[in-house]
């Protein structure tokens, strides 16, 4: 990895160094030479306008110039620098602002040479509803529930938890120890007798008055103390209350508290980490292997270990070797593991509350921790070489990181083998197997109702969920799958084909133009393939791209045959073929995506279909026939009286009544 030249010997001026590099545009070199010595963020762009790298600097002039003052040869940083044709910079007031802006831009722009952690789903919380002076009975008794989303000040939230399972375990604990309610308000407000949870001692039945509001509020307060990590103090308080009731001969109340103390004691024995002083800690371990990386995040909240979650960044291999900054703002070359961990800390805690203590497997830049402390308002410390209990946590997190990365590499190796097998089986001419792009189409409807087409995308050896598309099919005879396939292919490739034809004439391809896939799969046999062939001939596209997946005898999985649009004979790959496994995986995903969209659309149509049953003379059977004939209520509304009267069971008079009702 490159190191900046020694600062002791005299060097040429920045401007003379920059002008000695004719490979870069004069405007770029001029912009670099005129940079201010202030903190800021810089972005590098290639000739196509794509973002190559986003970085921050305490001193923009010194930092950016370091990229252009040396010939980096065939290193990764040299490969990146050779592509730079344009630069943008933003001056900020402090390093903390630079940190925030840098990582927001990394997430937004997805630069190739930055380590990037994809946005994951928001963390789940355990929620306790706040008590309010309302006429609603439920408002006097807090409810404990699973929650994911924006928090509200009127309620109490505990977490975040690493997984939904961890939240559900905590809720179960609240039921066992404190017997708090989990039912929703409409259920609570309409109970006339206790539910099963009361019978199995998981709820104190406040819905029917089996516990007073004051006693229930005490249980809620105890539960909150436990979740905040005051378990030992809570035990002492409960034991003291139990003895006080016993001395007053209130044995029933004492027995209730005895059961609570026993349940709480059992929980504490199961959680060995409750004896440590740390309340809220995140443990971060990184493992890098085979060009991939895993950061395992283990979470301790309220003194209890809640579980962990793995994160897998992208661009690790491309980012290796790119400069970072040390504490003094000079260019440095930390290990890949340290770069990955710092990228995770910087990007992850932008939108997630950060605990006061981090235990890390690699040293983290002190300026980064300082900036996070300023941003969060919490004094954050990072411990690199922990002892005692913290060391045990870190070792456990490191083991999990290794296991998760091994699993990922195994899965990716299997998927890459399938991609290679498919390319070989179909004689696909590819320079780079990683770039194989497959798009698959499927049609779904229920007896012609709510027809939907789906397009799923397989690229870089995996399904690309963000590129999936659904198409609502209109203007066809309900149930005509061939017409539906024709419509979706025209809509998918019509504009692209036109753009590509124009590009051939002018010799220039407009920026942002998409690309044709290497393979177009259609779920169906000769009929669907023939329709796809007609569309591609109309658009002037290559027929060899089209492959149909025809179901085998008895529609059994593993007996599928591939049908080609360019006249080749059908191919049976064999039920144990890795290529067929990949085809089936993509086809099944297209089917799943289509049918879920169709069901959602059908449900909406059928809810709206209730308008038909409000018309005198229209019952469930006639309504179903109308929806099937016209594809939904909207189709019925667009139909004329004559068309409506052609439906079985609909007379001329009733058709006129339907038309009047819908108009």
Name all contacts of 468-473 with Cβ < 8 Å and 24+ positions apart: 468/593, 470/593, 470/594, 470/597, 472/601, 473/443, 473/445
Give the residue-averaged pLDDT of 590-595. 88
Residue 263, pLDDT score? 65
Q: What string of H, E and C letters represents the secondary structure of 440-472?
A: EEEEEEECCEEEEEEEEEEECCEECHHHCEEEE
| H helices present in 174-230, as ranges | 185-189, 196-199, 213-227
Residue 93, pLDDT score? 85
Give the pLDDT band of residue 10 (cuts 50, 70, 90).
Answer: very low
Give the residue-averaged pLDDT of 217-232. 80
Q: Which of 377-381, 617-621, 631-635 has maximum average pLDDT?
A: 377-381
Mean pLDDT of the chain: 80
Question: Is the pLDDT assigned to residue 236 strictly greater than 80?
Answer: no
Q: Is the peptide bond before 103 cis (omega within 30 degrees of 0)?
A: no
> In Å, what is the CA distance from 177 to each residue of 61, 181, 266, 619?
61, 12, 10, 53
pLDDT digits (tens, 9 = 90+) for 191-223: 888 888 988 888 989 998 888 888 898 888 888
pLDDT digits (tens, 9 = 90+) for 285-299: 999 987 889 999 998
Helix crossing, 95-109 with 336-348: angle to 10°?
Answer: 90
CB 661 within 8 A of CB 609: no
Superfamily for the 433-503+516-605 domain? UvrC, RNAse H endonuclease domain (3.30.420.340)
- In this structure, what token pair is assigned to residue 338? 């340290």
Percent of the chain with pLDDT over 70: 84
Domain ranges (residues) in the chain: 15-109, 125-275, 281-406, 433-503+516-605, 609-662
Question: Is the pLDDT assigned to residue 4 strictly greater than 60?
Answer: no
> In Å, what is the CA distance from 611 to each residue of 152, 188, 616, 632?
38, 33, 11, 11
* Pick among 1.10.3720.10, 3.90.920.10, 1.10.150.20, 1.10.10.10: CATH of 609-662: 1.10.150.20
Question: Is the pLDDT assigned to residue 569 strictly greater than 50?
Answer: yes
This prediction has a pTM of: 0.62
Which segment of 257-271, 400-414, 477-491, 628-642 scores lowest on mean pLDDT?
A: 257-271
pLDDT digits (tens, 9 = 90+) for 84-112: 888 999 998 887 788 888 888 888 888 88
pLDDT digits (tens, 9 = 90+) for 386-433: 888 888 889 989 999 999 988 888 877 888 888 888 888 888 877 788
Whether 281-406 and 433-503+516-605 share one fold: the answer is: yes
Give the pLDDT band of residue 658 (cuts 50, 70, 90).
Answer: confident
CB 128 within 8 A of CB 354: no
**CATH 1.20.120 fits domain 281-406:** no
Residue 1, pLDDT score? 37
Higher per-residue confidence, 320 vs 530? 530
Give the residue-averaged pLDDT of 234-242. 75
Q: Which sign, positive or negative, has the C-alpha torsion 211, 214, 215, 221? A: positive
Give the pLDDT band of residue 603 (cuts 50, 70, 90).
Answer: low
Look up the CATH number of domain 15-109.
Answer: 3.40.1440.10
Question: Is the pLDDT assigned to residue 306 strictly greater than 90?
Answer: no
Question: Is the pLDDT assigned to residue 35 strictly greater than 80?
Answer: yes
Give the residue-averaged pLDDT of 488-502. 88
Give the pLDDT band of residue 19 (cuts 50, 70, 90).
Answer: very low
């Amino acid at each position: 990895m490159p190191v900046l030249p020694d600062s002791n010997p005299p060097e040429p001026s920045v401007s003379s160094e920059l002008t000695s590099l004719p490979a870069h545009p004069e405007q770029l070199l001029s912009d670099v030479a005129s940079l201010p010595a202030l903190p800021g963020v810089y972005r590098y762009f290639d000739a196509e306008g794509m973002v190559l790298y986003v970085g921050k600097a305490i001193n923009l002039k010194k930092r950016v110039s370091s990229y252009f003052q040396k010939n980096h040869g065939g290193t990764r940083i040299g490969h990146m620098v050779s592509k730079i044709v344009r630069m943008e910079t933003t001056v900020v007031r402090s390093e903390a602002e630079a940190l925030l802006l840098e990582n927001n831009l990394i997430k937004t722009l997805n630069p190739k040479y930055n380590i990037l952690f994809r946005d994951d789903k928001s963390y789940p919380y355990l929620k306790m509803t706040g008590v309010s002076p309302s006429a609603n009975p439920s408002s006097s008794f807090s409810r404990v529930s699973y929650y994911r989303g924006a928090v509200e000040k009127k309620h109490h939230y505990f977490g975040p938890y690493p997984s939904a399972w961890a939240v559900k375990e905590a809720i179960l604990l609240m039921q066992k120890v404190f017997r708090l309610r989990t039912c929703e308000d409409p259920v609570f407000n309409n109970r006339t007798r206790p539910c099963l949870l009361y019978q199995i001692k998981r709820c104190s039945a406040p819905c029917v008055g089996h516990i007073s509001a004051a006693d229930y509020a005490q249980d809620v307060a105890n539960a909150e103390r436990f979740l905040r990590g005051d378990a030992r103090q809570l035990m002492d308080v409960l034991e003291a209350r139990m003895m006080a009731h016993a001395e007053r001969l209130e044995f029933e109340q004492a027995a209730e508290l005895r059961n609570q103390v026993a349940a709480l004691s059992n929980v504490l024995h199961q959680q060995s980490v409750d004896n440590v002083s740390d309340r809220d800690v995140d443990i971060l371990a990184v493992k890098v292997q085979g060009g991939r990386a895993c950061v395992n995040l283990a979470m301790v909240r309220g003194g209890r270990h809640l579980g962990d979650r793995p994160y897998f960044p992208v661009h690790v291999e491309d980012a290796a070797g790119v400069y970072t900054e040390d504490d003094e703002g000079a260019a440095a070359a930390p290990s890949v593991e340290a770069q990955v961990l710092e990228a995770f800390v910087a990007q992850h805690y932008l939108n997630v509350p950060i605990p006061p203590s981090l235990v890390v497997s690699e040293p983290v830049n002190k300026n980064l921790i300082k900036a996070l402390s300023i941003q969060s308002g919490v004094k954050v410390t990072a411990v690199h070489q922990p002892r005692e209990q913290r060391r045990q946590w870190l070792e456990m997190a490191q083991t999990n990181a290794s296991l998760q990365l091994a699993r990922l590499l195994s899965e990716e190796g299997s998927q890459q083998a399938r991609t290679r097998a498919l390319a070989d089986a179909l004689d696909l001419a590819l320079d780079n197997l990683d770039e194989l792009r497959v798009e698959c189409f499927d049609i779904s409807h229920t007896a012609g109702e709510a027809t939907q087409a789906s397009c799923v995308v397989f690229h870089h050896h995996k399904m690309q969920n963000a590129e999936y598309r659904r198409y609502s099919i209109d203007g066809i005879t309900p149930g005509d799958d061939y017409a539906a396939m024709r419509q979706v292919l025209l809509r998918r490739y019509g504009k692209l084909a036109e753009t590509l034809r124009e590009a051939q004439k002018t010799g220039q391809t407009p920026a942002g133009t998409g690309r044709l896939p290497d393979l177009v799969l259609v779920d169906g046999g000769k009929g669907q393939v023939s329709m796809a062939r007609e569309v591609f001939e109309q658009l002037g596209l290559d027929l060899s791209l089209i492959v149909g997946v025809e179901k085998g005898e008895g529609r059994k999985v593993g007996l599928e045959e591939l049908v080609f649009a360019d006249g080749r004979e059908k191919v049976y790959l064999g039920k144990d073929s890795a290529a067929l496994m990949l085809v089936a995986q993509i086809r099944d995903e297209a089917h799943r995506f289509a049918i879920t969209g169709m069901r959602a659309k059908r449900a909406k149509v059928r809810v709206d279909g209730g308008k038909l049953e409000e018309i005198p003379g229209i019952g469930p059977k006639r309504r179903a026939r109308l929806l099937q004939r016209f594809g939904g209520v909207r189709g019925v509304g667009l139909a004329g009286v004559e068309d409506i009267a052609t439906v079985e069971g609909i007379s001329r008079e009733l058709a006129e009544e339907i038309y009047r009702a819908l108009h």
